[in-house]
Structure 1
Amino acid sequence: MRAALLLGPDRTLKAWEYEALELAIESGLDVTTVLHCTNDQHPPRQAKHAVYRALTMAGRPRMPMLRDRDVTPLLRNDVEIIYFPSEWEGTWQRVPADVAEQLQDHDVVVKFGMNLLKGPEDLPVTHGVVAYHDANPEAHRGRPHGFHELASGEATMNVTVHQLSNTPNNGRVLAEAYSRVVPTSYRSTLNNAYETSVPLLAKAIGALKNQSVVPNATPESNHQLPTNGQVVKTLGKMATALVGRGLYGAFREKRWNVAFVPQPFDPENPVQPQFADMQPITLPEGYTFAADPCAYHNGRLYVEVMHGSTGKGEIFAYTDGQGQRVDLPVGGGHLSYPQILEYEGVTYLFPEMGDVGPPTFFELDEEQLTSKAEHQLIGLEDERVIDPTMIEHEGHWYLFGGRPENVGERLELWVSDSPFGPWTPHLQTPVCLDPRSARMAGPLIRTNGKLYRTGQDGSVSYGRGVTISRIEKLTPTEFGETRMSSFTIQGAYGPHTILPTEDGYWLDYYTEQTTPMAGVRRVKGRLK
């Protein structure tokens, strides 16, 4: 797709914009022209916004995503460079007609420069102008990025790439993502948003090729820069949240366990379980919690159980309420999220072992609960995959999972013709950019001819519940899903893993208790 890149007077982008453009170019965007607008203007600074500007200036040195980068290394040697002054119409800027005429052979304009663009539909390019949008189109519009979501106590913020127009809803949404709002830090909130934004430009260009859009609504409010009073009030909320987090860490701790719910699990119409009706397993002596019920095979439930002295997860197999440790050759490393795969007459245990090494199958001796051999997945030797979840679907194998640095907000997908590989990244990866559902929450669920995915909702805090999504497309080149509903427990927190079986389903949950040793144990756990 032939593109013109619209910049300001120089050839720099912010680091996150640079990475977004780089990924789009790798995905097939061909930048043949660079437009430099030479008369961009910044609005005059007003005293009533001084505290907000001080807040952003204080955080900027610790925000690598906002560092300037020269875009030249991404451009072709024969790229055409055009400098022009825009035509001003009030607070709007218009591309002059003589410059617009030079864009007739282009497919799209990618906008990073200029302010409010007047008449983007009038430019003679096939797909118009695409640009990032600074706020949630369903609730917030206007400046600044993320502040009003933080001020109003929202758990997530929305980032989009639009095909611009001058209509009230600002055009069609081509790609969108959600990032986590951090109630204790505006800087962290922005960093999350910028990192999540990087893949969206490539996804938007793909949407133009496929003529697909995301439904969007007219925003309820159009914000301006916050006043000094608004910023001071929000800083007070952030300080209160920070104190609350410190007190929680010092005196409150979670107690995780696994339980059986003796009722069917219907992903289309999930029924919230009652904590009093759940049937928990018994922890072995010396172990502090259990989680991740990810496999039920030949009458055994496979879960993660954490040892109290090492702080490391181990895999246990439960039969008739009794647990037995599965001995795997990982040198004492942390294991979790155990799955069972039957392939060509061999039973494999497939745990999450991102703390130890790349994804690996262990041939399982089901009588001795030991490993007879191990097989690293080809193509993933350099990956550390968190909560890896594998499924065979219509003759192909798919692996869902996250990387350690962003597992809570970004879901990757790999594809192969064999469970052993070679595995390659799916063309649509990342397939989910949303802290409410990106991290996997157990095996995919196939029922009534449909496929469902459960994802952990980490938008507020870890382990509070899951989001159920229905997978609409899953092929080696396409992926699509519809977020359907959230799922929680009445009387406890969780789950963050769901495993349906024939006569009910297994899940994990946690309760909280107050103890003066909570902070001590947290410090010890980090030092191990």
Structure 2
Amino acid sequence: MPRRKDIWRCGLLTLPVGEVLAGGLSHAPMHWLPEEPAFRFLADPFPWRGRDHLHIFAERYDYATRHGTIDLLTLDEGFRVIDRRPCLREDWHLSYPQVFDADGATWMLPEAYRSGGLTLYRMGKGPEGWVRETEIRLDCVPVDATPLRHDGRWWLFYSPADSKVTKLGHLHVAWSERLTGPWHPHPGNPVRIDSTSSRPGGTAMVLDGRIMLPVQDCTRTYGGAIRPLWIDRLDETGFAARAGAPLALPVSAGLYRDGMHTLSSGGGVTLIDVKHIDRSLAGLWLDLKRTLGRSFA
């Protein structure tokens, strides 16, 4: 039975991503969200600015249940959490809740590979209410699918859920004329095979005319670091990219120095998450109790 547990914490800064990549995170002025109770965490934070407030959508995870759901956090002008509530729960694990505006609506595209697919949600009456819009069909069940609107069409970057190797080290691409599809897988898939820089890890964007996709470096550990993947060619038949150096962790991360696997942007802020690896006997005991509970259920 594995004892190690990744415990994540989310941080916010008011620098744009371009400045973060140029100057690094080591001494960046971070605003850290409060830590969660033992063996719970918030991870995969994505920002969205509503009419009156900045909101953060994040995965809420509890090792007692091992089931991820999506929480909505509302922040005041000083980046303090003034409201928090669940906003999306399914029978399967959810994470990586990208929220973005397009085509006159607000959308969420969360990670949900354990459902066997990928579902696009549309915002209902407010940021706490989401309605299933459509299932996006691709050449595989995707992990951490990341959208980008570029040159008049939609692009989607993702890793296949086929195996641990493909989840951590393969990159696929698809394109569509409309966000709701149909989607066309790139004929070169996988367009990249490299555990240092293939699995998506945040908001894809165009910086100074170049496409930048945050990707995870998983050579040492899952979510060991974030690198920028600079994409030099992206079209229906070709793909070329070059990975930049991994981002150093903020000094203020303290205990959380074992990895980072999200770099997201929007609403005038940049978000990250960092982790520490818990190897305590308390974590092992939590797993034993969970296993025994299932045995006698």
Q: What range describes the TM-score normalised by the shorter chain of this pair?
A: 0.7 to 0.9
Counterpart of 1:440? 200
Counterpart of 1:69? none
User: Normalising by structure 1, what TM-score?
Assistant: 0.48
Identify if the C-alpha distance between structure 1 residues 338 and 407 changes in structure 2 by more than 3 Å, giving closer, same or farther: same
Identify if the C-alpha distance between structure 1 residues 439 and 309 changes in structure 2 by more than 3 Å, giving closer, same or farther: same
Counterpart of 2:147? 390
Between the aligned partners of 2:212 and 2:157, the Cα distance in structure 1 is: 13
Counterpart of 2:93? 334
Between the aligned partners of 2:215 and 2:130, the Cα distance in structure 1 is: 29
Between the aligned partners of 2:291 and 2:234, the Cα distance in structure 1 is: 39
Residue 522 of structure 1: how far off its partner (Å): 4.8
Tell whether 2:274 aligns with 1:509: yes
Residue 294 of structure 1: how far off its partner (Å): 3.0
The 5 Å alignment of 1:465-484 reads 465-484=225-244
Residue 302 of structure 1: how far off its partner (Å): 1.1
Deviations 1:380-409 (A, max 9, x none): 3x7421100011110121111111211101
Tell whether 2:264 aligns with 1:499: yes
Over aligned residues, Cα RMSD in angstroms?
Answer: 2.7
1:456 to 216, 229, 233: 216
Identify if the C-alpha distance between structure 1 residues 416 and 521 changes in structure 2 by more than 3 Å, giving closer, same or farther: same
Identify if the C-alpha distance between structure 1 residues 525 and 440 changes in structure 2 by more than 3 Å, giving closer, same or farther: farther
Q: Which amino acid aligns with 1:444?
A: A
1:313 to 48, 68, 77: 68
Between the aligned partners of 2:67 and 2:178, the Cα distance in structure 1 is: 31
Q: Which amino acid aligns with 1:271?
A: G
Worse-matched range after superposition: 409-418 or 433-442: 409-418
Deviations 1:238-268 (A, max 9, x none): xxxxxxxx9xx54x54321111134343365
Deviations 1:12-43 (A, max 9, x none): xxxxxxxxxxxxxxxxxxxxxxxxxxxxxxxx
SS at match of 1:334: coil
* Number of residue pairs aligned between Structure 1 and Structure 2: 275
Between the aligned partners of 1:349 and 1:495, the Cα distance in structure 2 is: 22
Identify if the C-alpha distance between structure 1 residues 526 and 273 changes in structure 2 by more than 3 Å, giving closer, same or farther: farther
Identify if the C-alpha distance between structure 1 residues 262 and 393 changes in structure 2 by more than 3 Å, giving closer, same or farther: closer
Residue 295 of structure 1: how far off its partner (Å): 3.8
Counterpart of 1:400? 157
Contact 1:284/1:323 (<8 A) preserved: no
User: Normalising by structure 2, what TM-score?
Assistant: 0.82
Identify if the C-alpha distance between structure 1 residues 347 and 287 changes in structure 2 by more than 3 Å, giving closer, same or farther: farther
SS at match of 1:495: strand
2:119 to 355, 360, 375: 360
Identify if the C-alpha distance between structure 1 residues 425 and 524 changes in structure 2 by more than 3 Å, giving closer, same or farther: farther
Contact 1:260/1:506 (<8 A) preserved: yes
Q: Work out which structure has the larger RCO, using CA pairs closer than 8 Å and 6 or more positions apart in sequence.
A: 2
Identify if the C-alpha distance between structure 1 residues 483 and 422 changes in structure 2 by more than 3 Å, giving closer, same or farther: same
Residue 504 of structure 1: how far off its partner (Å): 4.2
Identify if the C-alpha distance between structure 1 residues 369 and 357 changes in structure 2 by more than 3 Å, giving closer, same or farther: farther
Counterpart of 1:292? 44
Counterpart of 1:324? 85
The 5 Å alignment of 1:141-152 reads none
Contact 1:444/1:454 (<8 A) preserved: yes
Counterpart of 2:78? none
Contact 2:64/2:286 (<8 A) preserved: no
SS at match of 1:408: helix
Identify if the C-alpha distance between structure 1 residues 292 and 526 changes in structure 2 by more than 3 Å, giving closer, same or farther: farther
Contact 2:21/2:247 (<8 A) preserved: no
SS at match of 1:263: coil
Q: Which amino acid aligns with 1:419?
A: L
Contact 1:411/1:430 (<8 A) preserved: yes
Identify if the C-alpha distance between structure 1 residues 399 and 285 changes in structure 2 by more than 3 Å, giving closer, same or farther: same
Contact 1:493/1:511 (<8 A) preserved: yes
Counterpart of 1:273? 26
Residue 458 of structure 1: how far off its partner (Å): 0.4
Between the aligned partners of 1:373 and 1:271, the Cα distance in structure 2 is: 38
Contact 1:386/1:407 (<8 A) preserved: yes
Residue 512 of structure 1: how far off its partner (Å): 3.8
Identify if the C-alpha distance between structure 1 residues 270 and 495 changes in structure 2 by more than 3 Å, giving closer, same or farther: farther
Which ranges of structure 1 fall in alignment gaps of 5 or more residues? 1-245
Between the aligned partners of 2:182 and 2:134, the Cα distance in structure 1 is: 12
The 5 Å alignment of 1:174-193 reads none
1:519 to 251, 274, 284: 284
Contact 2:49/2:266 (<8 A) preserved: no
Contact 1:488/1:495 (<8 A) preserved: no
Between the aligned partners of 1:518 and 1:493, the Cα distance in structure 2 is: 17
Identify if the C-alpha distance between structure 1 residues 525 and 281 changes in structure 2 by more than 3 Å, giving closer, same or farther: farther
- Structure with higher Rg: it is 1
Higher strand proportion:
2
